[in-house]
Amino acid sequence: MNHTEPTVAPIGQSQIEICHQSFGDPADETILLVMGFTAQMISWPEGFIEELVARDFHVVIFDNRDIGLSAKTVGEPPNAAALLARARNDEDISGEVPYALVDMAADAIGVLDHYGVDNAHVVGASMGGMIVQEIAINFADRVRSATSIMSTTGNTEVGQADPTAMGALLTPPPEEREAILEHMVMVNRVIGGPLWNADDAMERSIAAYERSFHPVGAAFQLAAIAASGDRTEQLASVDVPFLVIHGAADSLIAPSGAVATAEAVPGADLVIFAAMGHDLPTALWPQISDAIMGIARRPAFA
């Protein structure tokens, strides 16, 4: 599989440094993969990327700000839990956070600019799905199709997390390497669903830890989610081919979030995998890739 080396470069109008990498033939249509909360670009499994490249796509991945090798926000991290609670009470906290999801969407568009890609198929997982929704809302002319995986609309009445899953995700990690790795694997186990694999989880955790360990970034990203509010009304304006993928066994974002997303976007397709949790299990890579290809090959709406 042809690929470039990971590169850190100033991206977009803000010139924020973003680490990115590409796979496949740049002459093919581009898929931009947007990863989720506290997850580095290497969380996109290489085998999954190979599935997409085999379907004649040029695949681009990148680290969101505050994770991996991309830029880290300077200053005291926000009290994200408090901000999230206030947002759930319909308070406007947008002026109290360094950035919101729409700014992360602009980062993603900056990555496309860097590659000279006018428009692309955008695919996001979890928080990445939220960012993809923001891209489809605010940068519609740059989108050929959009796929939101294991995500939700921002409406606090849908997609609610199981308390155990949310507690595991938000528990601060320990300080010693082996304990950190055990913690990372535990979180993956809690949210991973019936196809979760312990060996894969440990391998991914080691790779992520050794590449970059920056737990402070979680507070900034969670604050961005909290400040971004409910996208339901805005999603009604989206007029590109749109796919929603979710797992029936997802304990971190309940499937009701996927249903609400598909209902909000006119003409959206919804695919629910019975054995999928909050994860991209190996056994489902071909089916997920086929679903993405199907929406990507669909003609744009008139």
Domains of the chain by residue range:
7-296
Q: What is the pLDDT of residue 302?
A: 47
Pairing of strands 7-11, 57-62: unpaired
301: β partners: none
Chain centroid to CA 253: 13
CB-neighbour burial class of residue 176 (10 A; exposed 0-12, middle 13-18, buried 19+): exposed
**pLDDT (tens digit per residue) in 33-60:** 999 999 999 999 999 999 999 999 999 9
Q: Under a CB-based contact definition with an 8 Å cutoff, are residues 261 and 148 in contact? A: yes
Q: Which residues fall within 8 angstroms of residue 236, CB to CB, at 6 or more apart?
A: 264, 265, 266
Q: Under a CB-based contact definition with an 8 Å cutoff, are residues 250 and 125 in contact? A: no
Q: What is the pLDDT of residue 31?
A: 98
Q: At the topology level of CATH, where does 7-296 sit?
A: Rossmann fold (3.40.50)
Q: Under a CB-based contact definition with an 8 Å cutoff, are residues 240 and 146 in contact? A: yes
Q: What is the pLDDT of residue 13?
A: 75
- Mean pLDDT per 10-residue run, the chain (302 residues)? 90 89 98 98 98 98 98 93 86 90 97 97 98 98 98 96 92 94 96 96 97 96 95 97 98 98 98 97 98 92 52
Q: What is the pLDDT of residue 173?
A: 92
Q: What is the pLDDT of residue 91?
A: 86
Q: Which residues fall within 8 angstroms of residue 283, CB to CB, at 6 or more apart?
A: 195, 275
